[in-house]
């Protein structure tokens, strides 16, 4: 019993410095857990969580929204704070370990271990004693940090992200202000590295053909792979498609004049079968509003002089031809719209584009129980010959004959229709029966009017 009382570990157990050091380690571990968990808590908040925070409008919730508006700076602050705390834990742990176990203790352990194999010298005993001290410190601190400072708090934060984010919103806001100079340098240096890495990686980025080949290799063994492959390829090129490539040109748009009488309007609506009709004044270049057919349901028995113009909605949305359809889809979602008027570079109306047109670029043709006519008019003569209308969009042509939609990109110029492709290649209006060869594909002008090419015969290569 007297030996135990006189042992250095027992004597140091009641040392104020040692007790203070152990308490400091526990406090720092708790702080590390909170900060590590806050990383998961903040960056796992979903749309519904953010909406809930915006509606509650408390001080803590406003602080969370403010922090999430600067994600890079928030992450930098969390990492800097966590590193400082972890360094403090390592230093304090080394102090506690050396206070509890003097160097002589490790030298004795080293002598005992080395004595199993050989008679150690003083230098060997000192070296292995220091190594044992270092390994025990590192192993112990690593275990504590990983278990109590990383794994456990992040598991908890994943389940209780909103509560932990509210708890840590104010402390993180203070730390963000405190570490602003350091975090600012870290964020800027990260941006510089990203730009350089992005620039260096441009030459190694996969081409569209390589991505398409990878999709085919990945999906080709699955049942119903053809449909899945087409959808995946459409998603890959979705961001490169412009409004002009999918819009309905003005010659095919069903629109009504502002001065039209009600009976004539109903006949046009019944024949067209659309739920939204653009309304113009004088000509289609001056679209004044959109008429929603559902607004007419309570007025079907009105006389011809019924003032249906009062039902026109003036929320006309204009988009340029060059706008990417992925950006337009986001705008449709934000504005809650389904139709936009497409304008050319001179401000004239060149057509319309709808939400359905955008979705069809990914999932293909959308048909409902009211669609009787085929959107793309063509005739398949045999496996190698197709008869198309000249106004058919190139994207639709490529999709129908089963080739990549970028097949004619090098020669199509600004053309988006099959007739436009022929005009771009020839440079003038061809005559009937004129034949044009482009690569492995042959085009024959079947019918042509004074103003446009009406029908084109497309012949595919035999292989």
Q: Domain boundaries in the chain?
A: 2-198, 208-237, 242-363, 378-459
Tell whether the model's pLDDT for residue 7 goes beyond 50.
no
CB 291 within 8 A of CB 250: no
Residue 411: the pLDDT is 82
- For 44-88, how does the pLDDT look when each residue is reduced to its tens digit (9 = 90+)? 877 677 777 777 778 888 888 888 888 888 888 888 888 888 888
- For 306-356, how does the pLDDT look when each residue is reduced to its tens digit (9 = 90+)? 888 888 888 888 998 888 888 888 888 888 888 999 988 878 888 999 888
Measured between alpha carbons, how far is 353 from 409 in angstroms, rounded to an integer? 22
Q: What is the mean pLDDT of residues 29-50?
A: 83
Tell whether the model's pLDDT for residue 92 goes beyond 70.
yes
Measured between alpha carbons, how far is 27 from 39 in angstroms, rounded to an integer? 19
Query: Whose CA is closest to 266, among 299, 310, 313, 288?
Result: 299
Measured between alpha carbons, how far is 305 from 110 in angstroms, rounded to an integer? 107
Residue 123: the pLDDT is 72
Residue 312 neighbours by CB under 8 Å, 6+ apart: 258, 279, 288, 289, 290, 291
Averaged pLDDT of the chain:
79
Residue 370: the pLDDT is 47
Beta-sheet pairing, 318-320 with 339-343:
parallel
Measured between alpha carbons, how far is 14 from 208 in angstroms, rounded to an integer? 70
Query: Whose CA is closest to 357, among 335, 378, 328, 334?
Result: 328
CB 38 within 8 A of CB 157: yes
Query: Order of strands, edge to edge, in the sheet holding 441-448?
Result: 378-380, 385-389, 453-459, 441-448, 435-438
* Percentage above 70 pLDDT, the chain: 80
| b/e 269-298 (16+ beta carbons within 10 angstroms → b) | beeeebebbbbbeeebbebebbbbbeebee
Residue 2: the pLDDT is 43
Burial of 135 by CB count in 10 Å (0-12 exposed, 13-18 middle, 19+ buried)?
exposed
Give the global pTM: 0.44
Considering the segment(s) 242-363 as one domain, its CATH architecture is: Roll (3.10)
At the topology level of CATH, where does 378-459 sit? 3.30.465
Helix/strand/coil for 447: strand
């Amino acid at each position: 019993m007297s030996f135990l009382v006189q042992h250095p570990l027992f004597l140091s157990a009641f040392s104020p410095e040692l007790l203070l050091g152990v308490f400091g380690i526990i406090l720092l571990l708790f702080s590390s857990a909170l900060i590590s968990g806050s990383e998961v808590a903040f960056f796992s908040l979903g749309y519904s969580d953010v909406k809930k925070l915006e509606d509650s409008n408390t001080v803590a919730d406003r602080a969370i929204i403010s922090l999430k508006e600067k994600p890079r700076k928030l992450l930098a602050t969390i990492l800097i704070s966590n590193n400082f705390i972890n360094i403090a834990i390592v230093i304090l742990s080394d102090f506690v370990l050396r206070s509890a176990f003097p160097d002589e203790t490790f030298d004795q352990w080293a002598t005992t271990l080395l004595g199993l194999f050989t008679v150690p010298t003083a230098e060997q005993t000192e070296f292995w004693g220091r190594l044992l001290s270092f390994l025990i410190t590192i192993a112990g601190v690593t275990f504590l940090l990983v278990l109590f400072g990383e794994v456990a708090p992040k598991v908890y934060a994943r389940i209780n992200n909103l509560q932990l984010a509210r708890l840590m919103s104010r402390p993180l806001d203070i730390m963000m202000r405190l570490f602003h100079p350091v975090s600012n340098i870290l964020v800027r240096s990260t941006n510089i590295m990203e730009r350089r890495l992005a620039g260096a990686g441009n030459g190694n980025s996969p081409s569209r053909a390589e991505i398409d080949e990878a999709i085919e290799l990945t999906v080709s063994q699955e049942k119903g792979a053809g449909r899945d492959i087409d959808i995946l390829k459409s998603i890959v090129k979705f961001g490169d498609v412009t409004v002009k490539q999918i819009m309905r040109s003005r010659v095919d748009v069903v629109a009504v004049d502002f001065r039209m009488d009600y009976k004539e309007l109903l006949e046009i609506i019944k024949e067209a079968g659309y739920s939204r009709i653009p309304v113009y004044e004088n000509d289609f270049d001056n679209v004044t509003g959109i008429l929603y057919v559902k607004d007419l349901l309570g007025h079907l028995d009105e006389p011809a002089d019924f003032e249906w113009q009062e039902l026109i909605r003036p929320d006309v949305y204009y988009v340029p031809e060059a706008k990417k359809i992925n950006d337009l889809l986001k705008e449709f979602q934000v504005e809650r719209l389904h139709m936009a008027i497409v304008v050319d570079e001179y401000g004239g109306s060149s057509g319309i584009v709808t939400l359905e047109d955008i979705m069809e670029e990914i999932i293909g043709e959308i048909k409902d129980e009211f669609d009787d006519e085929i959107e793309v008019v063509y005739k398949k003569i045999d496996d190698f010959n197709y008869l198309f209308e000249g106004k058919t969009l190139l994207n639709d042509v490529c999709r129908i004959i089963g080739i990549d939609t970028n097949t004619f990109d090098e020669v199509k110029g600004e053309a988006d229709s099959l007739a436009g492709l022929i005009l771009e290649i020839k440079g003038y209006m061809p005559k009937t029966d004129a034949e044009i060869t482009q690569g492995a594909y042959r085009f024959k002008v079947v019918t042509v009017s004074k103003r446009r090419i009406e029908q084109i015969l497309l012949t595919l290569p035999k292989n």
